[in-house]
Amino acid sequence: MYIPGFGSCSAILHLIAKHPKVILGLGLLTIASYLVSPLGPGTHYGADGVIQQQEQKIAKVMPDIDAREIDIAVQFATIEKQSIHDSSIQYVLDHICECKDIRIVDVRKSPRMLHDVSYLYFLDLCHAYGLERAKALYSQEHK
């Protein structure tokens, strides 16, 4: 039947059988907290606050970030029509996004995804070499 003791299997079964509403309530609370936390799946409620806090911290450290972002977007618009190499796509998928379930073929099939991957690669170059050098390197690599 029931073996008394903390942590025994039969104690848990006894609790479930004796108090199903409590267990159901705990389950619903667990699901709700998972969906609200920034660690939950997909678009979730907690992520907006975390993102806003990070943006505020970045704005304090780099007050000219908006102007930099515009400069990068303008420079990328002049070179984005150049075809990106498969090795660059693979670099973004492996090292920047850490996407193991997306293949190069999938990126090539979707114009939006190809644009996003190209932009991420250009941003990585900008971070490593600066804007002008990144533009030259991107153009040189993707003729």
Residue 86 domain flag: yes
**137 and 71 share one domain:** yes
pLDDT of residue 100: 79
What is the reported pLDDT for 39? 59
Task: Name the domain count of the chain.
Answer: 2
Q: 40 and 68 share a domain?
A: no
Residue ranges of the chain with per-residue pLDDT less than 70 = 1-10, 12, 36-48, 143
The predicted pLDDT at position 4 comes to 56
Pair 1, 34 in one domain: yes
CB 111 within 8 A of CB 80: no
Helices within the chain (DSSP H only): 9-18, 20-36, 45-61, 65-79, 86-91, 104-109, 111-129, 131-141
In a domain, 55, yes or no: no
What's the pTM?
0.61
Q: Is there a single domain that holds both residue 68 and residue 40?
A: no
Residue 56 lies inside a defined structural domain of this protein = no
The range of the structural domain enclosing residue 129 comes to 62-141
Considering the domain architecture, whether residues 17 and 83 belong to the same structural domain is answered as no
Q: Using alpha carbons, list the distances in angstroms from residue 117 to 8, 109, 133.
A: 51, 12, 19
Tokens 């993707």, located at residue: 142
Classify the phi-psi angles of 7: left when phi > 0, otherwise alpha if psi is within -120 to 50, otherwise beta: left
State the pLDDT at residue 99: 76
What per-residue confidence (pLDDT) applies to 120? 92
In a domain, 57, yes or no: no
